[in-house]
Amino acid sequence: MALDRKTPNDLAAFWMPFTANRQFKAAPRLFVGAKDMHYTTHDGRQVLDGTAGLWCCNAGHCRPKITEAIQKQAAELDYAPAFQMGHPAAFELANRVIDIAPDGMEHVFFTNSGSESVETALKIALAYHRARGEGSRTRLIGRERGYHGVNFGGISVGGIVTNRKNFGTLLAGVDHLPHTHLPDENRWTRGQPEHGANLADDLERLVALHGADTIAAVIVEPIAGSTGVIMPPKGYLEKLRAITRKHGILLIFDEVITGFGRTGAAFASQFYGVTPDMMTTAKGLTNGVIPMGAVLTTAEVHDAFMDGPEHMIELFHGYTYSGNPIASAAGIATLDTYKEEGLFERCAEIAPYWADALHSLKGTRHVIDIRNEGLIGAIELEPIAEAPTKRAFSAFLAAYEKGVLIRTTGDIIAMSPPLIIEKDQIDQLIGTVREVLESLD
Ligand SMILES: Cc1ncc(COP(=O)(O)O)c(C=O)c1O
C-alpha cells in the first residue's frame, strides 16, 4: 500500500504489532481517551475494558496519582544514565516491589517490557551457573504453548508455533515440557484443574535425556495467558519446584500477566504457594502507563555474581532505560494506588462473583469450555472447520461494536478486566459476550 503523504491521518505507515493490518486499516478501531473502566473511541462511544488494556492497566485508566507522579518526575529529573549512575526513584521502586514479592525474592533488575524481562532472566540463569563453576549448564527448558514475549530467547523457550516457525533456527539447546491443556479431563473447571500434575514429571525425562548438568533453567508461566489461559493443575507447580531443586536447575516463573494482583495475591507464586528462583514481570508494574519490566531474583542468584574485583561490572547486561526515572515514578505511584485502594484484596473478594458470571455462559452457543482464576476468565469456542480463529475474532469485533473490549487468542476469548471492576460491569461484560455468541454463526 503506497503512503498517502497528503492525508495527515493516513494509516499506512504504522505497521501494527500482532494485528491483522489490512482488516484493521479497512475498518479502524481507535481509542482516543480512557478513564477508570472505560475507553472512548474515535467516534465518541464508551467501551468497557474487559482486558485491562493488554493485561496491564490493573488499577484502571488515567488514575490521578499515577498521572501526577509522571508529570512531576518529568519536570524534575527526566533521565539519568542507567549505567554507573543512579537516582532515588529506581532504588525506592525496587524496595517497594520486594516488599510485596514472595519471601526469598531480594533483588530487582529493571527492563522495559515483558520480553526484555524474559531475555534478562534467561541470561542471568546462564551466567549464574557459569559464575558458580557450572558453565556446562547451558540448556533452557520451556513449555509447549508457553508465551514469553517475542525476542529470540523468549520465542525459543516459548511454545506457540506461529510465533516460532517463521524466525529461523532460534536458540540452540532448548527443550520443552508438554503443555497442561487437557480439555477432556478438565472441562468447566473453576480454578486449578484436578488432572495433569503428572505432566511435570516429564522434566525427569528431560533430565534423563540431557543430563541435569547441562540444564540451566526451566521457565513457565504459572498461568499460561496468551495461549488461551491455562491454569496449573493441582500439584503441578509444586512438582516442578521439587524436581528443579533436586537437580540444581533454576525455576523461573514468568509473571508478566499474573503479577500485581491478577489472581488476588500480589503474585501467582504467592497465590499458589510455590516460590521460584526468579520471576519476570512487566505490565501491571506501572499499570501499563510507561513501559517497564522487572526481573526478581533470590539473594542466592544475585550473590553468585558479587565476586571479583569491586571496580568490575558484575553482569554485562542492561538497557539504556533500565530503571528510567519516569517509569520508576509511575511504578511507585502504581504500587501506592494498589495498596491504598486494596486492589489485590478486592480482586480476591470479587473473584467468586466473576467465576459465577463466567460459568453462567455454559450452554451458550459455540462454548466448549470455561476456565477462571482471580479476575481472569477464558471461554473456549468450537472453531469453525477450515477457519480456525475466525469465530473468536468475529466475537471480538461484534463485542467492540456493542461497547465491550474483549481479547481473543486462537478460538479462545480471554478476559482480564481492571481490578476496579464493579459487579454490574461484570454483568454487562458477560451479558454482551452471551448476546454476541448467540448471534454468531
Ligand atoms: C507471560 C508473558 N511473558 C512475556 C510477555 C511479553 O511482554 P511484552 O509484550 O511487554 O514484551 C507477555 C505479554 O503478554 C506475557 O504474557
Report how far residue 221's alpha carbon sits from residue 219's, in angstroms, rounded to the nearest whole number. 7
Per-residue model confidence (pLDDT) at position 8: 63
Using only C-alpha atoms, the chain has a radius of gyration, in whole angstroms, of 22
Distance, CA 6 to ligand 1 centroid (Å)? 37
The three grid cell numbers given for residue 139, joined into one nine-digit string: 540448556
Task: Write the CA distances from 77 to 80, 94, 291, 334, integer angstroms.
Answer: 7, 18, 17, 19
Report how far residue 177's alpha carbon sits from residue 186's, in angstroms, rounded to the nearest whole number. 19
Q: Are 78 and 326 in contact (CB under 8 A)?
A: yes
Mutating to test ligand 1, I would choose from 147, 252, 286, 295 the residue with most ligand atoms within 8 A of its C-beta, which is: 147
Task: Write the CA distances from 26 to 371, 395, 399, integer angstroms.
Answer: 34, 18, 18
Q: Which of 225, 258, 262 is nearest to 354 (CA)?
A: 262
Per-residue model confidence (pLDDT) at position 437: 98
199-238 pLDDT, tens digit per residue, is 999 999 999 999 999 999 999 999 999 988 999 999 999 9
Ramachandran class of 62: left when φ > 0, alpha when ψ lies in -120 to 50, beta otherwise:
left
Q: Are 285 and 120 in contact (CB under 8 A)?
A: no
Mutating to test ligand 1, I would choose from 51, 115, 117, 223 the residue with most ligand atoms within 8 A of its C-beta, which is: 115
Work out the pLDDT band at 52, boundaries 50, 70, 90.
very high
Report how far residue 129's alpha carbon sits from residue 213's, in angstroms, rounded to the nearest whole number. 10
Report how far residue 156's alpha carbon sits from residue 154's, in angstroms, rounded to the nearest whole number. 5
Mean pLDDT of the chain: 97
Sole residue written with cell 516457525:
165
Instruction: Find the helix packing angle between 390-401 and 423-439, rounded to 10°.
Output: 130
Query: By alpha-carbon position, which residue is closest to atom 3 of ligand 1?
Result: 148
Longest dimension (CA), the chain: 68
Q: CATH homologous superfamily of domain 21-59+342-439?
A: Aspartate Aminotransferase, domain 1 (3.90.1150.10)
Q: Which of 363, 381, 357 is nearest to 190 (CA)?
A: 357
Share of the chain above pLDDT 90, in %: 97
Per-residue model confidence (pLDDT) at position 131: 97
What single letter denotes the amino acid at residue 222? Answer: P
Task: Write the CA distances from 342 to 53, 58, 85, 338, 339, integer angstroms.
Answer: 20, 12, 34, 6, 5
The three grid cell numbers given for residue 46, joined into one nine-digit string: 464508551
- Domains of the chain, by residue range, sit at 21-59+342-439, 67-340
The three grid cell numbers given for residue 233, joined into one nine-digit string: 493443575
Per-residue model confidence (pLDDT) at position 440: 95
The answer, yes or no, to whether residue 4 has pLDDT greater than 80, is no
Q: Give residues with Cβ within 8 angstroms of 400, minimum separation 6.
A: 29, 47
Distance, CA 278 to ligand 1 centroid (Å)? 16
The answer, yes or no, to whether residue 9 has pLDDT greater than 80, is no
Pocket of ligand 1 (CB under 6 A): 113-115, 118, 147-149, 221, 225-226, 254, 256-257, 282
Report how far residue 415's alpha carbon sits from residue 434's, in angstroms, rounded to the nearest whole number. 14
Q: Are 338 and 261 in contact (CB under 8 A)?
A: yes
- Ligand 1 nearest-atom number relative to CA 118: 4
Distance, CA 93 to ligand 1 centroid (Å)? 21
The answer, yes or no, to whether residue 1 has pLDDT greater than 60, is no
CB count, 10 Å around CB of 264?
Answer: 21
Report how far residue 148's alpha carbon sits from residue 203's, in angstroms, rounded to the nearest whole number. 19
Fold designation for 67-340: Aspartate Aminotransferase; domain 2 (3.40.640)
Q: Give residues with Cβ within 8 angstroms of 92, minimum separation 6.
A: 328, 332
110-127 pLDDT, tens digit per residue, is 999 999 999 999 999 999
Distance, CA 280 to ligand 1 centroid (Å)? 9
- Ligand 1 nearest-atom number relative to CA 151: 11
256-299 pLDDT, tens digit per residue, is 999 999 999 999 999 999 999 999 999 999 999 999 999 999 99
- Ligand 1 nearest-atom number relative to CA 226: 16
Query: By alpha-carbon position, which residue is closest to atom 13 of ligand 1?
Result: 149
Per-residue model confidence (pLDDT) at position 6: 60
Mean pLDDT across the stretch 381-407?
96
Q: What are the helix (H) ranges across 214-298?
A: 236-246, 268-272
Report how far residue 167's alpha carbon sits from residue 423's, in angstroms, rounded to the nearest whole number. 44
Q: Give residues with Cβ within 8 angstroms of 429, minimum separation 6.
A: 48, 50, 357, 404, 406, 415, 417, 421
Distance, CA 277 to ligand 1 centroid (Å)? 19
Work out the pLDDT band at 307, boundaries 50, 70, 90.
very high
- Backbone phi, then psi, for 215, in 5-degree steps? -105, 125
Q: Which strand ranges, in their side-by-side order, compose the sheet holding 105-111?
A: 105-111, 293-298, 278-281, 250-254, 215-220, 139-143, 174-177
Length reported for the chain: 441
79-90 pLDDT, tens digit per residue, is 999 999 999 999
Distance, CA 121 to ligand 1 centroid (Å)? 13
- Ligand 1 nearest-atom number relative to CA 146: 1
> End-to-end alpha-carbon separation of the chain, Å?
32
